[in-house]
């Protein structure tokens, strides 16, 4: 995703001199080409994220389209008030980009686990929150946030995530992409969990279940219509995200479903337990401790479906 | 407190810390070997001569507090607390491995001797300042040391604490700056210039001293003299070389990121042993 993002940004900056990149002393072996090709559109703010966002807001208020770039929590939490007041309140045209969303930097430690960023960014007025599901979506999302006049948060993984989309799907911020349709259950995924959801959907479909698979790349504004339809047309709704189950995609979907008329499908949020990790592990290891590996996700879903059949029968 | 180590012993500990870090980072394939190598002599002196700590009682209330604020130099920090006797050196093998507790950034959970977790730069000094204020108000004898990096000084949070500590005359607080002249993308001078650094500290009410950060005698002399001036926090500006001890790593940004391959590890360990 990181690679798709920076390549796309390079192309956009070639064409549009307003597109700028401000990094927080990060991006080794990622940002060099951008910096060389567009020296007047690039600056390293140093290890100073609050200043990075302030600078970006200032540049944006003179007419630039400014991307800021750092790791998960440094990109967002460290400079939260700058994002809220300088960027969101002023509707400054700043696109906050975080790499290492979720547990991508698993064994680096709790400081590098970005597990609440979506919840916090989602709470900010005027902020659009995008967590693309694969490199194709990362490319499309980068273009879309440039076209958007206003603040956005782009949450990326690392490099080398699998492709889920074979071709470029129609992409619009705030419009979920339905990759597969069915009425037994809906899987709504954001970020890198789209790949897991896709695999789980294939397995369940092979077991003759009708699976609807939705990529909710834009967590805010959430596609209410797609959520509502899933809640009414399918028997179960599951959200999948590499983020705390509190306040992220699962929280956003729960908010929509809670206000629907009664009688809709139940919801299960699959994501990170809201706690600090105590054990060291790489991304896959920690994900499995949280039940986010393919096998555990499958088991969670199958158990819930079996239980509901038990109730009906 | 340990008996006062000789200079030869300090140099020997520094070699051990470098070798541990090289092995740990090579085996775990993680980053930041250059950051570890530059701070080796500083940590050897801190644990060998300066800190009043007791490995049998990591939570002894009267201990000196050391906060490793450049938390990405985790491998060498764990090695230092292991060599100081807080935990068996065998535990270092778990560094950044699935199922262990030694995260790739300094982590206190389950690791005796680690005072405070870090990894997001610019947190250690404000926290150390808070400890120093509390210690001062309690009339305590223990002192606070914060080891930081030069790129880390970009963070505004540090300058807020520097202003505060100077104002409150916290002379029980000392920082050691691992001034290796390189940060994440480029040289410090090409990113955000820090010079004249000592003048900045003096202007903020601190007492600065510049030393060769690889000379254990010079480091000891400076650190044994704190507070350098009564009523002022001390800033030891330790001039270092990123990657120090392995010639082909020295002064190169690349070794902020790359882990030595098994072959590179062999030659690196040989260089350290011969140093
Ligand atoms: C708040 C924050 N921003 C960014 C980073 C990413 N990062 C890790 S090390 C580093 C800079 C390395 O240079 P320096 O601070 O001089 O440390 P050295 O390794 O040279 O000792 C950066 C930017 C971080 N850890 N924390
Ligand atoms: Mg440095």
Give the pLDDT mean for B222-231.
98
Backbone angles phi, psi at A130, to 5 degrees: -125, 125
Residue B122 C-alpha, separation from nearest chain A C-alpha, in angstroms:
9
Which ranges of A61-116 does DSSP label H, i.e. alpha helix? 72-76, 80-81
If pLDDT is split at 50, 70 and 90, which confidence band does B3 have?
A: low
d(CA A222, CA A259): 14
Q: Element (H or E) spanning B264, and its range?
A: helix B262-274
Residue A229 has pLDDT above 50, yes or no: yes
**B interface toward A at CB cutoff 8 Å?**
28, 30, 71, 74, 94, 96-107, 109-110, 117-122, 151-152, 154-156, 183-186, 191-192, 253, 256-257
Chain A residue numbers touching B71 (CB-CB < 8 A): 109, 111
Residue B112 has pLDDT above 90, yes or no: yes
Residues paired with residue A66 on neighbouring β-strands, in sequence order? A20, A94
pLDDT tens-place string over residues A31-79: 999 999 999 999 999 999 999 999 999 999 999 999 999 999 999 999 9
Interchain CB distance below 8 Å, A281 and B110: no
Does the beta carbon of B150 lie inside 6 Å of ligand 1?
yes
pLDDT tens-place string over residues A187-227: 999 999 999 999 999 999 999 999 999 999 999 999 999 99
Quickly tell me which residue has 């012993």 as its tokens. B9
- Using CB atoms, pick whichever of B97, B105, B121 lies closest to residue A47: B121
Residue closest to A95 by CA, chosen among A166, A35, A24, A150: A150
d(CA A165, CA A158): 18
User: Which atom of ligand 1 is nearest to B123's Cα?
Assistant: 1
Contact B100, B92 (CB under 8 A): no
Quickly tell me which residue has 């400014």 as its tokens. A66
Quickly tell me which residue has 């002399």 as its tokens. B221
The answer to whether the complex's ipTM is over 0.90 is: yes
A312: Cβ–Cβ under 8 A, 6 or more apart, which residues? none
Q: What is the three-class DSSP state of A63?
A: coil
d(CA B275, CA B273): 6
pLDDT tens-place string over residues B21-78: 999 999 999 999 999 999 999 999 999 999 999 999 999 999 999 999 999 999 999 9
Go through chain B and tell me how many residues it has: 275
Contact B85, B3 (CB under 8 A): no
Chain A residue numbers touching B28 (CB-CB < 8 A): 107
Does the beta carbon of B182 lie inside 6 Å of ligand 1?
yes
- Using CB atoms, pick whichever of A73, A112, A285 lies closest to residue B98: A285
Chain B residue numbers touching A50 (CB-CB < 8 A): 156
Interchain CB distance below 8 Å, A112 and B151: no
The pair of structure tokens assigned to A123 is: 């709470």
Domain coordinates in residue numbering, chain A: 2-155, 177-312
Does the beta carbon of B70 lie inside 6 Å of ligand 1?
yes
- Best probe of the A interface among B30, B91, B120, by most A CBs < 10 A, is B120
Give the per-residue pLDDT at A313. 38
pLDDT tens-place string over residues A116-173: 999 999 999 999 999 999 999 999 999 999 999 999 999 999 988 999 999 999 999 9
| Percent share of chain B, pLDDT over 70 | 99
Domain coordinates in residue numbering, chain B: 7-274
Residue B226 falls in which region: left (phi positive, over 0), alpha (psi -120 to 50) or beta: beta
Chain B residue numbers touching A114 (CB-CB < 8 A): none
Residue A20 has pLDDT above 50, yes or no: yes
Answering whether pTM is above 0.90, one says yes
d(CA B129, CA B255): 31
- Best probe of the B interface among A109, A114, A290, by most B CBs < 10 A, is A109
Alpha-carbon torsion angle A156, A159, A161, A167, nearest 10: 80
Interchain CB distance below 8 Å, B151 and A47: yes
**Pairing of the two strands B173-179 and B234-239:** parallel
Distance B252 CA to ligand 1 centre (A): 15
If pLDDT is split at 50, 70 and 90, which confidence band does B1 have?
A: very low
Interchain CB distance below 8 Å, A112 and B122: no
Chain A residue numbers touching B27 (CB-CB < 8 A): none
Residue B258 DSSP label: P
In CATH terms, B7-274 corresponds, of 2.60.40.3140, 3.30.450.40, 3.40.50.970, 3.90.700.10, to 3.40.50.970
In this structure, which residue's CA is closest to atom 25 in ligand 1? B120
d(CA A122, CA A254): 14
User: Which atom of ligand 1 is nearest to B32's Cα?
Assistant: 19
Residue B169 has pLDDT above 70, yes or no: yes
Opening angle at CA B65, ends B60 and B70, nearest 5: 140
The average confidence (pLDDT) of chain A is: 97
Does the beta carbon of B257 lie inside 6 Å of ligand 1?
no
Distance B193 CA to ligand 2 centre (A): 12
Give the per-residue pLDDT at B126. 98
Tally Cβ neighbours within 10 Å of residue A245: 21
Q: Element (H or E) spanning B263, and its range?
A: helix B262-274
Residue A311 has pLDDT above 60, yes or no: no
Give the per-residue pLDDT at A309. 73
The pair of structure tokens assigned to A284 is: 């896959």
Backbone angles phi, psi at A309, to 5 degrees: -65, -40
Residue of A nearest to B254 (CA): A28
Q: What is the three-class DSSP state of A48?
A: coil
The CATH topology of domain A177-312 is Rossmann fold (3.40.50)
Backbone angles phi, psi at A219, to 5 degrees: -85, -25
Tally Cβ neighbours within 10 Å of residue B46: 24
Residue B119 falls in which region: left (phi positive, over 0), alpha (psi -120 to 50) or beta: left
pLDDT tens-place string over residues B148-168: 999 999 999 999 999 999 999
Give yes or no for a cis peptide into B208 (omega within 30° of 0): no
d(CA B56, CA A40): 57
**Pairing of the two strands A211-215 and A177-180:** antiparallel
- Using CB atoms, pick whichever of B102, B120, B184 lies closest to residue A111: B120
For A2-155, give the CATH class.
alpha beta
Q: What is the DSSP track for B55-111?
A: TT-TT-TT--EEEE--TT-HHHHHHHHHHTTSS-GGGGGGTT-TT-S--SS---TT-
User: Which atom of ligand 1 is nearest to B178's Cα?
Assistant: 21
């Amino acid at each position: 995703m990181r690679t798709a993002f920076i390549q796309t940004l390079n192309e956009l900056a070639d064409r549009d001199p307003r597109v700028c990149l401000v990094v927080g002393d990060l991006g080794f072996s990622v940002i060099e080409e951008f910096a060389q090709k567009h020296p007047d559109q690039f600056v390293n703010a140093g290890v100073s994220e609050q200043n990075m966002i302030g600078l970006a807001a200032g540049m944006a208020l003179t007419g630039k389209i400014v991307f800021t770039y750092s790791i998960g929590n440094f990109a967002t939490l460290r400079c939260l008030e700058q994002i809220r007041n300088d960027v969101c309140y002023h509707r400054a045209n700043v696109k906050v980009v975080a790499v290492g969303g979720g547990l991508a930097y698993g064994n680096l430690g709790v400081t590098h686990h970005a597990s609440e960023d979506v919840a916090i960014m989602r709470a900010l007025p005027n902020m659009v929150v995008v967590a693309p599901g694969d490199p194709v979506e990362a490319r499309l999302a980068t273009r879309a946030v440039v076209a958007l006049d206003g603040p956005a948060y782009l949450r990326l993984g690392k490099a080398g995530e699998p492709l889920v989309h074979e071709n470029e799907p129609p992409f619009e911020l705030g419009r979920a992409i339905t990759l597969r349709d069915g009425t037994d259950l809906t899987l709504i995924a954001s970020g890198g969990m789209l790949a897991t959801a896709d695999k789980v959907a294939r397995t369940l479909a092979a077991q003759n279940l009708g699976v609807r698979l939705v990529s909710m790349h834009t967590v805010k504004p959430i596609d209410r219509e797609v959520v509502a339809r899933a809640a009414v047309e399918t028997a179960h709704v599951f959200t999948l995200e590499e983020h705390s189950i509190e306040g992220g995609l699962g929280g956003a979907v729960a908010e929509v479903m809670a206000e629907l008329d009664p009688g809709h499908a139940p919801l299960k949020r699959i994501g990170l337990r809201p706690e600090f990790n105590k054990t060291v592990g790489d991304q896959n290891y920690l994900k499995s401790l949280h039940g986010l590996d393919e096998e555990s996700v499958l088991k969670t879903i199958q158990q819930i479906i079996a239980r509901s059949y038990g109730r009906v029968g | 407190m340990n008996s006062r180590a000789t200079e030869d012993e300090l140099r020997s500990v520094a070699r051990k810390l470098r070798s541990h870090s090289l092995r740990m980072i090579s085996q775990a394939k993680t980053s930041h070997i250059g950051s570890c190598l530059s701070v080796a002599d500083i940590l050897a002196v801190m644990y060998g001569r300066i800190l009043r700590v007791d490995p049998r009682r990591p939570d002894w209330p009267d201990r000196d507090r050391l906060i490793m604020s450049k938390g990405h130099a985790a491998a060498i920090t764990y090695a230092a607390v292991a060599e100081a006797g807080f935990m068996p050196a065998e535990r270092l093998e778990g560094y950044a491995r699935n199922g262990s507790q030694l995260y790739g950034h300094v982590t206190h959970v389950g690791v005796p001797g680690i005072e405070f977790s870090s990894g997001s730069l610019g947190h250690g000094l404000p926290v150390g300042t808070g400890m120093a204020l509390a210690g001062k108000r309690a009339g305590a004898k223990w002192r606070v040391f914060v080891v930081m990096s030069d790129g880390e000084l970009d963070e505004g949070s540090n300058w807020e604490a520097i202003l505060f500590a100077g104002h409150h005359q916290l002379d029980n607080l000392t920082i050691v700056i691992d001034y290796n002249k390189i940060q994440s993308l480029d040289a410090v001078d090409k990113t955000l210039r820090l010079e004249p650094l000592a003048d900045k500290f003096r202007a903020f009410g601190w007492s600065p001293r510049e030393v060769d950060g690889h000379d254990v005698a010079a480091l000891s002399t400076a650190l044994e003299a704190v507070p350098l001036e009564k009523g002022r926090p001390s800033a030891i500006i330790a001039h270092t070389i990123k990657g120090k001890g392995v010639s082909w790593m020295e002064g190169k940004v690349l070794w902020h990121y790359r882990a030595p391959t098994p072959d590179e590890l062999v030659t690196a360990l040989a260089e350290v042993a011969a140093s």
